[in-house]
């Protein structure tokens, strides 16, 4: 009899245990469903671009009415930024999305899969995929500039009433993961490492009555950890870029290549002409200078040690781009292609006059008065 009572007690305890376990599972499933529902847009946004049905497209693409356009690449796609909208297109010219950004002074920064649009001198910014807004955010002070990283992280530099500038970094969900207050020096440029775990910051200050430019590296996993700081001269910097061989700095008086790990200056060059334009490094480092002697422009290519490798004075430069070790110079209705030695390897008479060129997937995308044209190279 006593054994039977013990068995019954055990069965009742086991039943209660199973009921509690079942209840816990139901609660867990319910909380998971609620969490997914609340964050559905964030969860699904990285996958929205897969299998998009956007129609046939075709070139030339007729531009929507606007006072001005900015053309840039978004991976194998391209986008147009206007004063009211962000338009994204696939490589065949089919419109993927037309999104009203709502900013007064919109400026964009993009990588292979994301476009960051911010309101210069305003307080808002938004991160987009090819097809939709991923998140929007605001800051307390006016935005000076912003920069998207290699992945989903974004940097926003603002004014400040207490400091020279604030630097914020946000993750893919729009959550602030880093903030740095620059005490006295103004922030000029920022760039991310390839893995987005470090950020490099170029600042300008004053020392002994002269301008002083420095580059700093921060570890984004530690708010207070500045890895290194390197003085790079007294010339105004124009660009800061993380490359495979280091951190590339272009200033009014020359360029430098810094070791990304230590901040040591690996190479340096000096300019005697005025810098007109700088391309991103993609198998070639090219700088366009104003040539006072010929009242034109000179293009110079630099080697890995930042020594002058080649130079030429084209008939004209409306716009230019570097892609896969080749230089593309647009001059109105003419597009010329050069190799790394600045030897001409392609020459194209275009069907119209264009104001900008972007090389995407080995093809030239050209911005005209009211169209975007694609040119097979």
* pLDDT tens sequence across 301-318: 999 999 999 999 999 999
Class of domain 273-377: mainly beta
Tell me how far apart the alpha carbons of residues 302 and 323 are, in angstroms, rounded to a whole number: 15
For the segment 181-199, the average pLDDT, to the nearest whole number, is 96
The Cα-based distances of 327 to 117, 251, 275, 362 in angstroms read: 28, 21, 17, 12
**Whether the Cβ atoms of residue 240 and residue 246 lie closer than 8 Å to each other:** no
Tell me how far apart the alpha carbons of residues 377 and 356 are, in angstroms, rounded to a whole number: 16
Q: 43-68 pLDDT, tens per residue? A: 444 444 444 444 567 999 998 877 78
Give pLDDT, residue 8: 55
In a 13 Å sphere around the CA of 354, the CA atoms on its Cβ side amount to 28
Q: 246-293 pLDDT, tens per residue? A: 999 999 999 999 999 999 999 999 999 999 999 889 999 999 999 876
For the segment 165-182, the average pLDDT, to the nearest whole number, is 96
User: Taking 80 as the threshold, does the pLDDT of residue 139 lie above it?
Assistant: yes
Residue 63 CB: number of other CB atoms within 10 A?
Answer: 17
């Amino acid at each position: 009899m006593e054994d039977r009572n013990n068995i019954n007690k055990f069965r009742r305890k086991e039943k209660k245990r199973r009921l509690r376990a079942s209840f816990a599972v139901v609660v867990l499933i319910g909380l998971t469903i609620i969490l997914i529902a609340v964050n559905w847009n964030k969860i699904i946004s990285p996958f929205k671009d897969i299998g998009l049905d956007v129609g046939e497209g075709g070139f030339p693409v007729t531009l929507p009415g606007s006072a001005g356009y900015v053309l840039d690449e978004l991976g194998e796609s391209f986008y147009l930024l206007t004063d009211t909208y962000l338009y994204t297109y696939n490589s065949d010219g089919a419109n993927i999305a037309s999104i009203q950004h709502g900013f007064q002074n919109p400026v964009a920064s993009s990588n292979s899969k994301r476009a960051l649009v911010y309101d210069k001198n305003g307080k808002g910014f938004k991160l987009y995929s090819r097809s939709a807004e991923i998140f929007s955010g605001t800051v307390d002070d006016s935005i000076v500039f912003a920069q998207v990283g290699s992945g989903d992280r974004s940097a926003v530099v603002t004014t400040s009433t207490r400091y020279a500038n604030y630097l914020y970094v946000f993750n893919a969900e729009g959550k602030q993961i880093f903030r740095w207050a620059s005490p006295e020096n103004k922030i000029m440029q920022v760039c991310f490492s390839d893995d987005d775990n470090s950020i490099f910051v170029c600042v300008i200050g004053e020392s002994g009555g002269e301008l002083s430019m420095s580059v700093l590296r921060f570890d984004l996993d530690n708010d207070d950890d500045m890895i290194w700081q390197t003085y790079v001269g007294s010339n105004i910097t124009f660009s800061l870029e993380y490359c495979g061989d280091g951190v590339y700095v272009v200033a009014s008086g020359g360029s430098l290549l810094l070791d990304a790990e230590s901040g040591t200056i690996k190479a340096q060059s000096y300019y005697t002409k005025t810098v007109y334009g700088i391309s991103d490094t993609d198998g070639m480092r090219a700088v366009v200078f104003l040539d006072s002697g010929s009242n034109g422009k000179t293009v110079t290519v630099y080697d890995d040690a930042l020594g002058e490798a080649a130079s030429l004075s084209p008939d004209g430069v409306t716009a230019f781009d570097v892609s896969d070790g080749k230089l593309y110079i647009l001059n109105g209705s003419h597009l010329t292609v050069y190799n790394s030695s600045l030897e001409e390897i392609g020459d194209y008479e275009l069907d119209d006059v264009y104001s900008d060129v972007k090389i995407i997937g080995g093809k030239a995308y050209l911005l005209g008065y009211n169209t975007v044209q694609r040119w097979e190279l």
